[in-house]
Structure 1
Amino acid sequence: MSDVRHVLVLPDRDAAREVAQALAERFGVAEEPQLVRDALAGEDDAEDAQWLVVLRDAENRLDPKELDTLAAQWDGWREEP
């Protein structure tokens, strides 16, 4: 089994929390995703931070296209590995 990780980039903390909750509801993700604040390069203002939802997919069962669609609902996107 490979240790696949998906990273969803969201515009703010609230969106990241909602996406993490939606992952559990829609995809049955048992392991809680990690939420990480990612300050944009060269920006000191907290308002200019993106939030990452890092999700481990050890069984490689999550469809990247569905994750793209989910992130897009909150004006986010999925980073390609």
Structure 2
Amino acid sequence: MSDVRHVLVLPDREAAEEVVEVLGERFGLDEEPQVVRDALAGEDDAEDAQWLVVLRDERGRLDPVALDEFAGEWEGWREEP
């Protein structure tokens, strides 16, 4: 198996948590994605953070374009590896 990961970048924690809830239903994930806070360089304020949703795709079955469009529904995007 390969160690393929997709990273969705979301504007806030609420969006990231909503994305995690819907991802499993829409894409039939084998395991729950990981939510990670990513502070922007040089920013001290918690408001100036992006939230990442990291999903493993060991079988390579998730469509990157579909994930990008999905993240866009929450004003986010899929980060290119």
**TM-score (ref. length: structure 1):** 0.97
Query: 2:26 — aligned with what?
Result: 26
State the secondary structure of the residue aligned to 1:67.
Answer: helix
CA distance in 1 between counterparts of 2:56 and 2:24 reads: 13
| Cα displacement (A) at 1:30 | 2.3
Query: 1:13 — aligned with what?
Result: 13
Amino acid in the other structure paired with 2:31: E
Amino acid in the other structure paired with 2:70: L
Q: Does 1:54 align with 2:66?
A: no
RMSD, aligned CA: 0.6
State the secondary structure of the residue aligned to 2:20.
Answer: helix
Query: 1:39 — aligned with what?
Result: 39
Residue ranges of structure 2 left out of the alignment (5+ in a row) = none
Identity %: 77
| Cα displacement (A) at 1:67 | 0.1
Residue ranges of structure 1 left out of the alignment (5+ in a row) = none
How many residues align? The count is: 81
| Cα displacement (A) at 1:2 | 1.1
CA distance in 2 between counterparts of 1:64 and 1:22 reads: 16
CA distance in 2 between counterparts of 1:41 and 1:80 reads: 19
**TM-score (ref. length: structure 2):** 0.97
